[in-house]
């Protein structure tokens, strides 16, 4: 897929042991291909406010394959970055540091979801997340950072899903869309199909 081939910096979610598409092979391939690979890290919001979530997500860079394989599973079985190493790593939403994190903008963000569909009215690919808003808030902040660097058109958003998570007809249900939901540039299914906003595979 060209958006993946062309991407230098890729964000990949790390999978639960079951119930969603497995991303380990993508992480390994991206690292072996010389891409900079970033994975999610949840932390307390440094700007507490009743209008903002208490916990937010950033993306932190994996050093290499050995670093990835050393990650330990959290209580949900998801490989997780050791919090004690976070400040040694390049981070997407961090400020200036030794790794020049203030200049980092992602080329491709691969996002998870519970369900996906294509709006019959607009042709947009819609995503239903797990309800915490971590990705929507992260993408919104990332977009603002990219705009400040003059790179707002650079980042592509693609969903990754099992074929069973794609609602292909209204009889299977539909994905609700809120004002903060982020629309996707494409959706990649486990059977190899790639859906586009126009609804063409």
Which residues share a beta bridge with 10?
37, 108
DSSP secondary structure letter of residue 5: H
Q: Return the structure tokens found at 195.
A: 């859906």
Q: Return the structure tokens found at 199.
A: 């609804």
For the entire predicted model, the pTM comes to 0.91
Q: Return the structure tokens found at 46.
A: 């440094």
Residues contacting 55, CB < 8 A, separation 6+: 42, 43, 44, 45, 132, 134
Nearest to 188 by CA among 136, 120, 110, 130: 110
User: What are the structural domains, with CATH classification, of the chain?
Assistant: 2-195 (3.40.50.10420)
At residue 50, the pLDDT reads 66
Q: Specify the long-range contacts of residues 195-199, CB closer than 8 Å, at least 24 apart.
A: 195/116, 195/118, 195/125, 195/166, 196/125, 197/118, 197/123, 197/124, 197/125, 198/123, 199/118, 199/123
C-alpha torsion angle, residues 12, 20, 166, 191 (rounded to 10): 80
pLDDT values of the chain reduced to their tens digit, one per residue, 201 residues: 899 999 999 999 999 998 889 999 999 999 999 999 999 998 887 776 666 667 889 999 999 999 999 999 999 899 999 999 999 999 999 878 888 899 999 999 999 999 999 988 889 999 998 877 899 889 999 999 999 998 877 899 999 999 999 998 878 888 887 767 778 999 999 999 999 997 544
Q: Tell me the C-alpha distance between 127 and 194, whole Å.
A: 15
């Amino acid at each position: 897929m060209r958006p993946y081939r062309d991407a230098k910096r890729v964000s990949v979610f790390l999978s639960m042991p079951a119930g969603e598409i497995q991303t380990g092979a993508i992480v390994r391939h991206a690292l072996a291909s010389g891409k900079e690979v970033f994975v999610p890290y949840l932390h307390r919001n440094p700007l507490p406010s009743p209008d903002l979530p208490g916990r937010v997500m950033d993306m932190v860079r994996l050093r290499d394959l050995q670093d990835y394989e050393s990650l330990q599973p959290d209580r949900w079985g998801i490989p997780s970055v050791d919090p004690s190493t976070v400040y040694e790593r390049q981070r997407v939403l961090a400020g200036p540091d030794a790794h020049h994190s203030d200049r980092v903008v992602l080329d491709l963000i691969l996002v998870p979801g519970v369900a996906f569909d294509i709006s019959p009215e607009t042709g947009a690919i819609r995503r239903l997340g797990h309800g915490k808003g971590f990705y929507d808030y992260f993408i919104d902040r990332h977009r603002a950072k990219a705009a400040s660097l003059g790179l707002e058109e650079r980042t592509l958003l693609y969903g990754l899903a099992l074929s069973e998570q794609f609602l292909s007809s209204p009889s299977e249900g539909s994905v609700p869309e809120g004002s903060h939901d982020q629309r996707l540039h494409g959706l990649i299914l486990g059977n190899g199909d790639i859906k586009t906003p126009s609804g063409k595979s």
